[in-house]
Amino acid sequence: MTTKDILKKVRKIEIKTKRLSDHIFGGEYHSSFKGRGMTFSEVRPYAFGDDVRNIDWNVTARYRTPFVKVFEEERELTMMLAVDISGSENFGTQTQLKREMITEIVATLAFSATQNNDKVGLILYSDEIELFIPPAKGRSHVLRIIRELIDFKPKHTRTNTAQALKFLYNVLKKKAIVFLISDFIDTKYEDTLKIVGRKHDLTGIMVYDPIEKEMPDLGLVALRDLETGKTAYVDTGNKQVRHTHNAMFLKRHDYFKKAFQKAGSGIIWVATNGSYIKKMLQYFKARS
């Protein structure tokens, strides 16, 4: 892909996702994720019903009429987006690959955070940390994140979610909003997830292709594992084969759901032929 092609794709994603973050997710994001606390803003004359504990006695004594302190929520937050870019994310049988949908989700979240003047950072991982972009503000920073998601070529194809969570825990010193976005093909991340969930406001977003959930009868087909590179012939006409395939997905989904719930964290799951917009809105509204 040439630089010109990359820039065109970045611009196309920006137009689509920025409109969503401006008109749909902006208010929902703001109300869903609270600031670190309340900070002093100004004083104003006392009004009936005001909490007497907020009276500013120095100003009151100076002007000989009661004044109260006004506080506002300290809004500035840090959002960290931890994104799985292992081989399995390059799979898709519907309108787009899993990686393409993940890129749109990340862009929408990043622009929503920027609209609220929050910092955004990015971790790209496979079974190792492939790229770390420290949190920063601004449109140009978000565009860099989108560009990396489109064009970055990982060195490895397998997945290690626990490794990504350990890195995230060590690199983020203060509490942050964390979105972990993956198809969650691997397991054994539950214990690390609990530790991260205690420190950060964590949400897992599972993106999957419909065929992963329910394999259709296509006869004898060659299937290539995008993480190991191995190819095998599978008789999808066999009911037991399809049942086993579906059961594996349900087991993976159940592990994802229970692991995040035990960590006290939120979850969203969406198919590549579904609407991530609808799922995210439902999630934000439920949190508000």
pLDDT at 71: 62
pLDDT digits (tens, 9 = 90+) for 58-114: 988 988 889 888 765 555 789 999 999 999 999 999 889 999 999 999 999 999 888
253, 183 contact by CB (below 8 A): no
154, 86 contact by CB (below 8 A): yes
Tell me, rounded to whole angstroms, the distance of Cα 92 from its chain centroid. Answer: 20
Asked if the model's pLDDT at residue 1 lies above 90, the reply is no
pLDDT at 23: 65
103, 13 contact by CB (below 8 A): yes
The CB density around residue 114, as the number of other CB atoms within 10 Å, is: 20
pLDDT at 36: 52
pLDDT digits (tens, 9 = 90+) for 17-38: 887 787 667 667 767 776 555 5
pLDDT at 86: 96
What average pLDDT does the segment 113-135 reach? Answer: 93
Relative orientation angle of helices 3-20 and 98-115, to the nearest 10 degrees: 60
Arithmetic mean of pLDDT over the chain: 89
CA distance 187 to 255: 7
CA distance 142 to 119: 10
Place of tokens 């100076």: 62
Asked if the model's pLDDT at residue 231 lies above 70, the reply is yes
The CB density around residue 130, as the number of other CB atoms within 10 Å, is: 20
First to last CA, the chain: 41
Locate the domains of the chain by residue range.
3-32+75-287, 37-74
CA 22-208-23 angle, 5° bins: 10
In order of 42, 46, 53, 214, 273, the CA distances from 211 in angstroms are 57, 63, 60, 5, 11
pLDDT at 49: 81
3-class state of residue 140 by DSSP: helix
Asked if the model's pLDDT at residue 157 lies above 90, the reply is yes
CA 128-132-133 angle, 5° bins: 165
CA quadruple 107, 27, 113, 2: dihedral, nearest 10: 20
CA distance 231 to 214: 20
What average pLDDT does the segment 141-154 reach? Answer: 94
Asked if the model's pLDDT at residue 251 lies above 80, the reply is yes
What average pLDDT does the segment 166-178 reach? Answer: 93
What average pLDDT does the segment 193-202 reach? Answer: 95
pLDDT at 81: 98
Asked if the model's pLDDT at residue 3 lies above 90, the reply is no
280, 268 contact by CB (below 8 A): yes
Tell me, rounded to whole angstroms, the distance of Cα 93 from its chain centroid. Answer: 23
Predicted confidence band of residue 51 (pLDDT cuts 50, 70, 90): confident
pLDDT at 67: 87
CA distance 159 to 225: 13
What average pLDDT does the segment 227-250 reach? Answer: 92
Give the global pTM.
Answer: 0.83
Of 177, 155, 159, the residue nearest 168 (C-alpha): 177
Of 134, 205, 206, the residue nearest 168 (C-alpha): 134
CATH assignment of 3-32+75-287, given 3.40.718.10, 3.40.50.410, 3.20.20.70, 3.40.50.300?
3.40.50.410
Percentage above 70 pLDDT, the chain: 92
CA distance 268 to 109: 13
